[in-house]
Structure 1
Amino acid sequence: MAAMPEFIEVAPRVWVAHYDWMHVNITLVGGSDGLVMIDTHGSEQQARVVADDVRRLGAGPLTALVNTHDHWDHWFGNDVMLTTYGDLPVHATDFALERMVATGGVHSEHLAEHPRAEEIHATTLRPATHGFSSAVALDLGDRSVELIHPGRGHTAGDLVVRVPDADVIVGGDLVEESDKPFIGDDSFPLEWPLTLDLVLGLMTDATVVVPGHGRLIDMDYVQEQRTELGIIAETIRDLAGRGVPLSRALEEGEWPWDPALLTSAVRLGYEHLPRSQKRLPLV
């Protein structure tokens, strides 16, 4: 039998559980007043597993939830947590909250073909309840947790969670370890590197970084991904500035990643560039 997931303390009163499905990380931050859970997984069924793991940890009651962005695999477990632990505030950026309400998180074109689509669609949805624009602090009694919207990147509504006294950053999908960061149809590839610059400014050499997916990483790892995303952004600017058509951009660019991963990035980059940075013809 496979080992059961469990929450591991990665810094004082900060626990992370890694789940094989989607390589999702769920984080708990504890204070004298209780626990904050960051992300809740991608289905009702999987969230019950997470709730059981929280009970086994026995570190205190949940007092709040945080959703790092509006993609389904990070908030479809909200209803289970609220049903299990009571009517808790659920925090997200204003943009993410609005998207959860408007789309139900199922705007991904790939979701219909997901091998667990039936399980995902059977989930009762509970969007975030408390939005913020740039930053907000959550009071846990003897410590504070900071929610920061550093800018647009993976989505328009990403947030990172900073636990200052423990030197921990929970990065959501602005950084990933299990694969390259996913640049989808709702991403902002030209802005993402600058957004990560702000996140890097919150770190020290000793910061423990919890990515949205995969193993724990550090500042150097985040810097490496920022560099690669920066190369992608600058390559798009260079190609468009030389008038290379979008249809030939993937072929002509020198990319740090497999070009197959960059179809959306290049298309969106061409769309997002101001007219002054483009040279005709581009089609």
Structure 2
Amino acid sequence: MAKAFASQGDMEDKNISFTEIGDGLYAFTAEGDPNSGVIIGDESVMIIEAQATPRLASKVIEEVRKITDKPISHLVLTHYHAVRVLGASEFNAPQIIMSEDARSMVVERGQEDWDSEFQRFPRLFQGHESIPGLTWPTTTFDGMMTVYLGKRRVDIMQLGRAHTAGDAVVWVPDAEVMFTGDIVEYHSACYCGDGHFSDWGDTLDNIAAFDPVCIAPGRGDALVGREMVEAAIENTRDFVESTYRPAAKVAARGGSLKEAWDAVRAECDPKFAEYAIYEHCLPFNVARAYDEARGIDTPRIWTAQRDLDMWADLQS
């Protein structure tokens, strides 16, 4: 293969930041690695995103314990991807919350996704031996649910399909802060391999309608201030549209996946080539964009073998 597969060549540890984005609200970020969020209530703590392994989850807990000794009562998983959920056991949270759609995806493709992402991201899965198995929610919801951390209200909502069909966001109304999962990214490529390009823009509009003062995105730095929030939302929109539009044009004229790959590279490389995990994401993004443009609404399941075959076809 012309390039190291996915992120197999990325073995350098990233610097962790723990940024306050509101009163008792924090974003755990690590230079383009998957982010986590923290909400401190009156008597307990909610975590958003569990990381890929218990070892990585312990780094989130280490930061939390620097600011509070309140117990972790809730863990919210914005979608089903292995790098977001397999560290859940380390938090020992009584409630693990997912949308019902996300839980259905664990049933349908959770093991395949674990196998696939393990192969793609070896650094993120250091310590994988301690993962007890697939992560299952104790609580699911359809559309919206509200959790009270004492007096603090937290709304967990599905605002539309984007990164996956089961995406959820977490809104803290007293602080006007949102945790978006991978619907919004900052200077990091969007992973669209399980995405819904035609819906993504509307979902971004639904996020923007809340007018958040801060956002903890799925990857990249915390977005502090409405100007930075707006810029990140629009940049995410540009990334998604710039990926889908050229692939759709190729599909419409009956062109090949390799032709779609060349067209997307021509559109996206000048704008996004320096973004975190760009080269990793691009083949999966093009394959999904090409499928969606040909009428395949439900993303095909990625397996470890399908990953390798597709990468070889496009990178050769």
Is the structural similarity TM-score above 0.5? yes
CA distance in 2, matches of 1:3, 1:141: 35
Alpha-carbon distance, 1:70 to partner: 1.0
Match of 1:109 among 89, 113, 116: 116
Q: Is the 8 A contact 1:137 1:145 kept in 2?
A: yes
For each residue in 1:72-111, what CA deviation from the matched residue of structure 2 results, as whole angstroms up to 9, or x when unmatched?
22122211111xxxx5111111122233355247445242
CA distance in 2, matches of 1:112, 1:248: 26
Query: What is the CA distance between 1:67 and its match in structure 2?
Result: 0.7
User: Secondary structure of the residue that 1:57 maps to in structure 2?
Assistant: coil
Alignment counterpart, residue 41 of structure 1, candidates 51, 55, 64: 51
Q: What CA distance in whole angstroms lies between the structure 2 residues aligned with 1:23 and 1:3? A: 8
- 1:4-30 superposed Cα distances (whole Å, 9 cap, x missing partner): 95744221121222246x623221112
Is 1:241 the counterpart of 2:252? The answer is: yes
Give 2:41's aligned residue. Answer: 31
Structure 1, unpaired ranges of 5+ = 276-283
Aligned length: 266
Q: Percent identity?
A: 23
Q: Is the 8 A contact 1:25 1:211 kept in 2?
A: yes
String of CA shifts for 1:197-217, please: whole Å, max 9, x gaps: 22222224xx21111122012
Does structure 1 conserve the Cα–Cα contact (< 8 Å) formed by 2:192 and 2:288? no
User: Do 2:185 and 2:218's aligned partners in 1 also have CA atoms closer than 8 Å?
Assistant: yes
Post-superposition offset of 1:115: 2.9
Counterpart of 2:284, as a letter, is S
Do 1:41 and 1:47's aligned partners in 2 also have CA atoms closer than 8 Å?
yes
CA distance in 2, matches of 1:266, 1:226: 16
What RMSD over aligned residues (CA atoms) do the two structures have, in Å?
A: 2.9
| Structure 1 Cα separation of the partners of residues 240 and 15 of structure 2 | 35
In structure 2, what is the Cα distance between the partners aligned to 1:233 and 1:255?
Answer: 10
* Structure 1 residue 267: Cα displacement: 3.0
Instruction: Flag the structure with more relative contact order, 1 or 2, with Cα contacts below 8 A and sequence separation at least 6.
Output: 2
Kindly tell me: are residues 19 and 241 of structure 1, through their superposed partners in 2, closer, same or farther at Cα, counting changes over 3 Å? closer
User: Gapped runs of 5+ residues in structure 2?
Assistant: 1-12, 224-228, 296-316
Task: Give the Cα separation in 2 of the matches to 1:49 and 1:266.
Answer: 33
Inter-CA distance 114–223: structure 2 relative to 1 (3 Å threshold) = closer
Q: 1:197 to 1:55 in 2, by over 3 A?
A: same
Look up the SS of the partner of 1:190 in the other structure: helix
**Within-5 A mapping of 1:65-76:** 65-76=75-86
Deviation at 1:168, TM superposition (A): 0.8
Q: CA separation of 1:39/1:231 partners in 2, compared to 1, >3 Å: closer, same or farther?
A: same
Give the number of the structure whose residues are more often helix, by fraction: 2
Note if 1:80 corresponds to 2:90.
yes
Measure the CA separation in 2 of the matches of 1:192 and 1:252.
21
1:221-240 pair list within 5 angstroms: 221-240=232-251
The correspondence of residues 121-270 of structure 1 with structure 2, limited to 5 A, is 121-125=129-133, 126-184=135-193, 186-204=194-212, 207-217=213-223, 218-252=229-263, 254-257=266-269, 261-270=281-290
Letter in 1 for 2:292: H
1:135–1:147 contact (8 Å) kept in structure 2: yes
CA deviation after TM superposition for structure 1 residue 121, in Å: 4.5
Task: State the 1:271 CA deviation.
Answer: 2.5
